[in-house]
Amino acid sequence: MQQKFADNYNGEGTGTQSAILAGYSPKSAYSTANKLLNHSEVIKYLTKRKEIESKDVMIERKEIIMSRHERQAFWSAVANGEVGETQVVGGTTITVPAKMNDRLKASELLGRSEADFTENTNLNGEVNVKEDKAKERAKDLLIQMAKS
């Protein structure tokens, strides 16, 4: 029955409901649920199940989210006119080439992803900075005082 309880408990409902669904007495379901939720084997099982569910969600999300390479390939296909839109005209499904605005936007996004529009300025060399007049004058005065 511990297995049934753990299978019914999803962390969202109450332990009492899970205990009743698992076949425990409704009168003692609350205290039974508390005991089971503190039982080491039940805790291990619930933790492992949560990890598995979390991994499954991550796998599903990875299948939905495009990688950088996939995104760039898609933008390239749109910019090159290889991808169009599907439309139904008079009961017939046809593929219409991407509009020029869409192709330009895809081209822009592709360029941004490759940092084509960033300005990279490398400055090499020395910069001579003149000291201001007050510092030069103070320096001259120190030299004169040292001489006298």
Model pLDDT, residue 129? 55
Q: Tell me: the pLDDT tens digits for 22-41?
A: 888 888 888 888 888 888 88
Model pLDDT, residue 132? 61
Quick check: helix, strand or coil at residue 95? strand
pTM: 0.39
Amino acid type, 79: A
Model pLDDT, residue 125? 65
Structure token pair of residue 67:
């990688």
